[in-house]
């Protein structure tokens, strides 16, 4: 990736960045400002959902997502700038998700950002979508480095040690499916609706979490990796063997959600031990971020886990758990503040691990022609 470092921040010390997000099925734009004292002000955050387009298929269709982004991006970006109360010329940089994600959508957003950057004569910052999630709690509260991070977005389940901006060390990752994928598949198997995560959580509230015996993959193992493929299969079998009633669906949803919470909490416990071996004993910070972090049962479990292990739990508000452009603007702003920006040659990437060097040598969930998956 071409990186330049010759950008000088404005003389008054403020930075204003337009963020663009299009990695999956949300088309989003946001304007974020940081003043000379480091205080953040979110001037706008616009998110256009594609739920209606994908609902008939029970999941995100990449071709439909890319087309929807192309149709919506211009109006969403303009709305974000108009709502912010500033002019385009007052923007100091254009930040856009450059990966990982569905490549058609990533290209659409990144090309829009390149066009704006060129026309306005502003620097372009190509943002790792996962870094946006990793920094997202900082949108609303102090979150100093270092911290232990559980990143659980749609296609990613990772535990990382975060020591500073751009410094991420993987402690654990999924070896197959991510937790978000398991939620979506569970909803699709039982016909609960789309998007899957919120639907499973809603049905789980009506069920018995002890009704269906389900596996807890890797329980008790010395590492901090995840596996959700077997759990996903077990749910499908349990549903096939059920009477397909609403009561059965609720019990399976509740049992599945409890199993996922158990797995994430138990693997995080192991990561906490590994993290302390690196940074030492004493109070520590623990951040959970990504779409699955919006799940209320999981948040409660992680809160108890942190209280029992002398960690402070830091989580973004629910509106910043899912994909949004405010977190992309933040990641871009923090990069721009160091003088970093990218050339117009920067390419969209379907795969872009946060810990790229470690992932290249030991990808947790496979690799391919386009690089390590995670």
Q: Pull the structure tokens for residue 261.
A: 């919470």
The neighbouring-strand residues paired with 47 are 28
User: Which range has the worst mean pLDDT, 129-133, 140-144, 337-341, 366-370?
Assistant: 366-370
Tens digit of each residue's pLDDT (9 = 90 or more) over 15-64: 999 999 999 989 999 999 999 999 999 999 999 988 888 888 888 888 89
Q: What is the pLDDT of residue 190?
A: 97
Tens digit of each residue's pLDDT (9 = 90 or more) over 84-109: 999 999 999 999 999 999 999 999 99
Q: What is the pLDDT of residue 279?
A: 87
pLDDT value at 371 more than 70: no
CATH superfamily of 3-136+321-354: ATPase, nucleotide binding domain (3.30.420.40)
DSSP β-ladder status, 15-21 and 26-34:
antiparallel
Provide the percentage of residues in the chain whose pLDDT is more than 70: 92
Nearest Cα to Cα of residue 89 among 121, 114, 124, 133: 121
| pLDDT band at residue 11 using 50, 70 and 90 as cut-offs | low
Mean pLDDT of the region 128-155: 94
The full set of domain ranges for the chain reads: 3-136+321-354, 143-315
**C-alpha to C-alpha distance for 230 and 13, rounded to whole angstroms:** 52
Which CATH code, of 3.40.50.1980, 3.20.20.60, 3.30.420.40, 3.40.1280.10, is assigned to 143-315?
3.30.420.40
3-state secondary structure at position 86 = coil
Cα end-to-end span (Å), the chain = 18
The neighbouring-strand residues paired with 81 are none
Sign (positive/negative) of CA torsion 177, 138, 354, 128?
positive
List of residues 6+ apart from 102 with CB closer than 8 A: 23, 24, 60, 62, 65, 66, 350
Q: Count the alpha carbons within 13 Å of 10 in the hemisphere toward its beta carbon.
A: 17
Token pair 């290209």: residue: 107
**C-alpha to C-alpha distance for 22 and 108, rounded to whole angstroms:** 7
The neighbouring-strand residues paired with 292 are none
Please tell me if the domain spanning 3-136+321-354 has the same topology as the one spanning 143-315.
Answer: yes
């Amino acid at each position: 990736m071409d990186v330049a470092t010759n950008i000088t921040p404005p003389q008054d010390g403020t930075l204003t960045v337009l963020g663009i997000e299009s990695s999956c099925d949300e088309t989003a734009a946001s304007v974020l400002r940081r003043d000379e004292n480091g205080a953040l002000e979110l001037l706008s955050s616009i998110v256009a959902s594609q739920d209606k387009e994908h609902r008939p298929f029970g999941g995100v269709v990449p071709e439909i997502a890319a087309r929807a982004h192309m149709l919506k991006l211009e109006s969403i970006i303009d709305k974000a700038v108009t709502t912010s109360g500033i002019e385009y010329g007052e923007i100091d940089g254009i930040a856009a998700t450059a990966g990982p994600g569905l490549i058609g959508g990533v290209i659409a957003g990144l090309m829009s950002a390149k066009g704006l950057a060129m026309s306005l004569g502003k620097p372009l910052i190509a943002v790792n979508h996962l870094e946006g999630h990793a920094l997202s709690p900082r949108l609303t509260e102090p979150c100093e480095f270092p911290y232990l991070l559980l990143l659980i977005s749609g296609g990613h389940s990772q535990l990382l040690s975060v020591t500073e901006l751009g410094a991420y060390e993987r402690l654990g990752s999924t070896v197959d499916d991510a937790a978000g994928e398991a939620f979506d598949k569970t909803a699709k198997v039982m016909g609960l609706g789309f998007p899957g995560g919120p639907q499973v959580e809603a049905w789980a509230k009506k069920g018995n979490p002890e009704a269906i015996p389900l596996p807890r993959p890797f329980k008790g193992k010395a590492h901090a990796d995840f596996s959700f493929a077997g759990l996903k299969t077990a749910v499908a079998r349990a549903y096939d063997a059920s009477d397909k009633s609403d009561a059965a669906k609720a019990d399976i949803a509740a049992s599945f959600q409890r199993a996922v919470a158990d797995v994430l909490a138990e693997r995080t416990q192991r990561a906490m031990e590994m993290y302390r071996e690196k940074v030492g004993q004493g109070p520590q910070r623990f951040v959970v971020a990504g779409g699955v972090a919006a799940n209320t049962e999981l948040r409660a479990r992680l809160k108890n886990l942190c209280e029992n292990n002398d960690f402070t739990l830091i989580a973004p508000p629910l509106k910043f758990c899912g994909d949004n452009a405010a977190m992309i603007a933040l990641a871009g702003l923090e990069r721009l503040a160091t003088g970093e920006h990218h050339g117009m040659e920067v390419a969209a990437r379907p795969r872009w691990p946060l810990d790229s060097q470690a992932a290249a040598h030991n990808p947790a969930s496979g690799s391919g022609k386009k690089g390590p998956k995670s």
